[in-house]
Amino acid sequence: MRRSPSQLPEVAGVTQRLAVLLNAGLTPLSAWQHVARGRPAESVAAAVATTGADDREGAPDRIVRASETLTSLDRQAWSSLAAAWFVAGAVGAPLAGALRTHAKALRMLVHVQREVATALAAPVATARMVLALPAVGLVFGALLGFDTLGILLTTPIGWGCLGVGGALIVVAVRWNRRLVRSATPTRAAPGLECELMAIAVSGGGSLVRARGVVAGALERFGLAGDGQHLDEVLQLSQEAGVPAAELLRAEADELRLTADADARARAAALSVRLMLPLGLCVLPAFMVLGVLPLMVAVISSTVAGF
């Protein structure tokens, strides 16, 4: 089954356009309507625009409802936009500036996702091609004039080969899928908690209130935090006596770069790990389904010739 394309580039584009339109003086409802123009009726932007997004607190919930049926990664991306919108509205921070910062973070994630997809393309294509080896063996035997397919379907030896070879192919396919999933990014918004905190403190409120708003946003939209990174940055800000916003944005960028490096490392390692199901499952399946029936067919035809 073919996977639907990621919506992360669309979320980044929508966020950037909303930031520009809001900065130009448009109302949130008008901005959503302009962004949704020309998009399919089932898209998240169109759904939010048609239900009305003129109030800041209503738009985040509508974004989440419109993205409920999407994949986990795409849903996280839309939820991160909803969280940024919610936090900006809750603390009174400029919405256009908050969205512009968030759009930059999303574009970085789009770049990471594309690089990981490029790195995964070659090993995944190789694995799919190698899985076709058993079928190639059957075709090769038929071209040589031997009834390898008949051996597989009508003899006890062939039935045994089918059972063993089929089981090996199933194991190889599932193993490959698991390896590919392990190398695919699962978080659409690393560094989001620090980024949301940067938006919250730019509203001019206290750190205690800002932290409460950010924690509430993460819980409300089902998003993961950044562990101890937020506490460390806030402690550094207090000890050094410097504004926390820039430190938080820098920390969010660093977390995204770290996630980028980890994703590339997993993608690079995948090309080696895919050799395991190839050597332990696919090649034995090729021998059982392609070579062994061919040998039986050759021996049978030779014996019958005498």
Residue 57 has pLDDT above 70, yes or no: no
Q: Read off the pLDDT of residues 218-255 as tens digits, 9 standing for 90 and up.
A: 999 888 888 888 888 888 888 888 888 888 888 888 88
pLDDT at 303 (0 to 100): 61
When mean pLDDT is compared across 11-25, 117-131, 266-280, the lowest value belongs to 117-131
Q: CA 183 → CA 65, 71, 177, 259, distances in Å?
A: 29, 17, 10, 12
Task: For residue 148, tell me if it sits in a domain.
Answer: yes
pLDDT at 20 (0 to 100): 92
154: domain range?
121-184+271-305
Please, what's the largest Cα pairwise distance for the chain? 97
Are the CB atoms for 86 and 216 separated by under 8 Å? no
Q: Read off the pLDDT of residues 264-300 as tens digits, 9 standing for 90 and up.
A: 788 778 777 878 887 888 888 888 877 787 787 777 7
Task: For residue 175, tell me if it sits in a domain.
Answer: yes
Task: For residue 137, tell me if it sits in a domain.
Answer: yes
User: Crossing angle for the helix pair 95-131 and 192-201, nearest 10 degrees?
Assistant: 170
Task: For residue 230, tell me if it sits in a domain.
Answer: no
- Tell me what the pLDDT averaged over the chain comes to: 81
Mean pLDDT of all residues in 152-161: 83
Q: What's 52's DSSP letter?
A: -
User: Crossing angle for the helix pair 207-220 and 192-201, nearest 10 degrees?
Assistant: 140
Mean pLDDT of all residues in 68-72: 85
pLDDT at 134 (0 to 100): 73
Give the chain's domain count.
1
Task: For residue 9, tell me if it sits in a domain.
Answer: no
Task: For residue 88, tell me if it sits in a domain.
Answer: no
State the pLDDT confidence band at 4, using cuts at 50, 70 and 90: low
Q: CA 264 → CA 113, 127, 174, 189, 274, distances in Å?
A: 10, 19, 22, 16, 16
Compute the distance between CA of residue 67 and CA of residue 70 in angstroms, rounded to an integer: 6
Q: CA 100 → CA 62, 180, 195, 196, distances in Å?
A: 20, 33, 12, 13
pLDDT at 1 (0 to 100): 38
Kindly state the tokens that stand for 210: 């800002």
pLDDT at 55 (0 to 100): 46
State the pLDDT confidence band at 3, using cuts at 50, 70 and 90: low
> Above pLDDT 90, what percent of the chain?
2
Task: For residue 218, tell me if it sits in a domain.
Answer: no
Query: Does the reported pTM lie above 0.75?
Result: no
Mean pLDDT of all residues in 204-209: 81
Task: For residue 199, tell me if it sits in a domain.
Answer: no
